Amino acid sequence: MKLFGSRITFVAAIGVLIVLACAGGAVFAPWIAPYDPNLPMGGRWDPPSPEHWLGLDQIGRDMFSRILYGGRISIGLALLATSLAFVVGIIAGFAGAVFGGWIDIALSRIADIILSIPILMSALIIISGFGTSTTVLVLTIGFLYAVLVFRVARAVAMNIAVLDYVEVARLRGEGLMWVILREILPNALPPLAAEFGLRFCFAFLFVAALSFLGLGVQPPEADWGSMVKESALAIPAGIAAPLYPAAAIALMTIGVNLVVDWLLSIYSRPQGENA
Amino acid sequence: MLKLLGQRLVLGFLTLLVVSVLIFAVTEWLPGDLAVNILGQSATPENVAAIRAELGLDRPAHERYVEWLRDAAQGDLGTSLANKRPVVDVIGPRLWNTLFLAVYAAIIAVPLSVFLGILAAIYRNSIYDKVVNVSTLAAISMPEFFIGYLLILYLAVQFRWFPAIATFKPEQSFTQHLYSTFLPMLTLVLVVIAHMMRMTRTSVLAVMASPYIEMALLKGLPKSRIVVRHALPNALAPIINVIALNLAYLIVGVVVVESVFTYNGLGRLMVDAVSKRDVPVVQACGLIFAIVFIGLNLIADVLSILSNPRLRHPR
């Protein structure tokens, strides 16, 4: 089977399947979920049974149904934040690469400063200033990751902007927007696609971590991270309840990572960067 | 070389200064009326006035910033809004706990991951290398709380080998300290090792692709000797950076792990302060973490300059 013009490997195919399963479960949750995710229907932390595949949560709601619905919030928020990061990051990165000069220097310095402390710290500080809400969560992650995307987009656009065909287009008298949209963007897309997958992974884990800390998605809404937090008390009692949403997070991330790893090997971008 | 080192030092200091401005701006100035924000629904006019007076909010922001920075430089980080204690007293023991856990994990993780990473580079494309690749990728993909709760469920609850909650009592002996913090340490080691091994392997392999290594190969030197004597010294600078990055993670990024094990570290203090909007504590934690992070990066920079013969002996 081929994807993006290259033969897909066995491992990458498994990744695609995992991602499709997780995303499908989230999208079709209302049709797949066996029970109402908000309806208590049994004892606290009842163990898994044929009726309730993953048991019940801390107030007796069906864990499997809650995970399906929670996936909508987890995956949705991560997608939203990543998309925001890409729109802002690519615009800024291309602007820096194409205009150069003081615009480029100013943008790069701002990026250096913001990245001089860990992103989780920046996020905590921003949230302490603006409070905990889903909007703040998405904007914070989107803004902080935009800085990382900016660096990648700028580097990619820099490499393309000096190529002959871009020069030709400029000499031909094409406008700036034409050069950016028709010459640079199409050739920057493959590496940016791999970057999108990678960034989505980190945004996804980031949303989960902040929700787990109680600073992300707030009740009554529940994503996978906050579900882990809410059922954490089951662990000392020897009950695996919080491990199910946590495993869902791990599964989804592994799936995306397998696909990204394969994309990276195609475009042979240097590996090892993981912020 | 001294000039280069001096430049780095000044740059690090400037960065810290700008970061302190940002921390202050984001926590006190940007969000609007801080007093109302802190109080939330209990914002009666009297309460608001009280908080204003306490934080000195009636004065302009730049004056408050300069004062805050001056006090912080003298070791006075203000008073916590939540329990009215000096922030320094609240933070002190927490910082010590966090450093203890970080050093504990680093002593085990750093040598092990560099060794295993080099091994993976030597036996590239072998079964060992492939197993390492897939398992470290899986470890990176797992959220820390998944690994943490998994360890608690099996090693603490089912087998009762280690305590699930990492408590710290003053009367404990050093070995008891090590024992009671074993599970958080193990969680951190598992997370960090995966990153460090992958990066060590990548940077050794990058050096292995250079012509002088091929020359050594053609001379018939054994592969282990080539990696250790020829490739490793040149791969050292990137490896040092990797180690610094992960040490910084161990001190700064452990928030989630501390929460899983209800460990009284600085990270958990900061999360509590963020949810309670205890602004002075948030600012102090942010500042300390920024110092640690920027400082570690600076040390890594200096070490990689020192480990590079071309920079050590300028022409």
Tell me what the pLDDT averaged over chain B comes to: 84
A-B CB pairs within 8 A amount to: 145
Half-sphere exposure of A243 (CA within 13 A, CB side): 18
Q: Is a pLDDT exceeding 50 seen at residue A269?
A: no
Task: Report the pLDDT averaged over residues A213-228.
Answer: 88
Task: Output the pLDDT for position A274.
Answer: 37
Dist CA B166 CA B178 (whole Å): 10
Nearest chain A residue to B293 by CA distance is: A117
Of the ranges A236-250, B162-176, B252-266, which one carries the lowest mean pLDDT score? B162-176
Q: Is a pLDDT exceeding 60 seen at residue B239?
A: yes
Residue A121 and residue B202: Cβ atoms within 8 Å?
no
Q: Is a pLDDT exceeding 50 seen at residue B251?
A: yes
Q: Among partner residues A128, A209, A212, which is closest to B282 by beta-carbon distance?
A: A128
In A, which residues are within 8 Å of B249 by CB distance?
Answer: 118
Provide the token pair at A66: 């809650």
Chain B contact present for A129, CB below 8 A: yes
Nearest chain B residue to A240 by CA distance is: B153
In B, which residues are within 8 Å of A261 by CB distance?
Answer: 137
Report the percentage of chain B scoring pLDDT > 70. 93
- How far is B46 from chain A, CA to nearest CA, in Å? 22
Do residues B54 and B48 touch, judged by C-beta distance below 8 A? no
Q: Is the whole model's pTM more than 0.90, yes or no?
A: no
Q: Which of B23, B33, B145 to mutate to test the interface with A (most CBs of A within 10 A)?
A: B145
Do residues B280 and B80 touch, judged by C-beta distance below 8 A? yes
- CATH code of domain A2-34+55-268: 1.10.3720.10
Do residues A243 and B153 touch, judged by C-beta distance below 8 A? yes
In B, which residues are within 8 Å of A236 by CB distance?
Answer: 152, 157, 164
- Enter the DSSP assignment of A2: E
Do residues B196 and B117 touch, judged by C-beta distance below 8 A? yes
Dist CA B274 CA B269 (whole Å): 9
> Would you tell me how many other CB atoms lie within 10 Å of the CB of residue A162?
10
Chain B contact present for A206, CB below 8 A: no
Q: What is the dihedral of CA B48, B53, B56, B58, to 10 degrees?
A: 70
Chain A contact present for B8, CB below 8 A: no
Chain A contact present for B217, CB below 8 A: no
> pLDDT for B170-188, tens place per residue?
677 778 888 888 889 999 9
Q: Which of B146, B152, B200, B207 to mutate to test the interface with A (most CBs of A within 10 A)?
A: B146
> pLDDT for B104-145, tens place per residue?
999 999 999 988 888 888 888 888 888 888 888 888 888 888
Do residues B240 and B231 touch, judged by C-beta distance below 8 A? no
Chain B contact present for A242, CB below 8 A: yes
Nearest chain A residue to B35 by CA distance is: A129
Task: Output the pLDDT for position A271.
Answer: 40
Residue A128 and residue B273: Cβ atoms within 8 Å?
yes
Q: Give the ipTM of the model, two decimals please.
A: 0.84
Q: Among partner residues A112, A208, A238, which is closest to B143 by beta-carbon distance?
A: A208
> Would you tell me how many other CB atoms lie within 10 Å of the CB of residue B149?
28
Those residues with Cβ within 8 angstroms of residue A55's Cβ, 6 or more apart along the chain or in another chain: A45, A46, A47, A48, A49, A63, A239, A241, A244
> pLDDT for A64-123, tens place per residue?
999 999 999 999 999 999 999 999 999 999 989 888 889 999 999 999 888 888 888 899
Chain A contact present for B1, CB below 8 A: no
Task: Output the pLDDT for position A1.
Answer: 55
Those residues with Cβ within 8 angstroms of residue A264's Cβ, 6 or more apart along the chain or in another chain: A194, A198, A271
Tell me what the pLDDT averaged over chain A comes to: 86
> Where do the domains of chain A lie?
2-34+55-268
Chain A contact present for B151, CB below 8 A: no
Residue A236 and residue B164: Cβ atoms within 8 Å?
yes
In A, which residues are within 8 Å of B152 by CB distance?
Answer: 235-236
Chain A contact present for B201, CB below 8 A: no
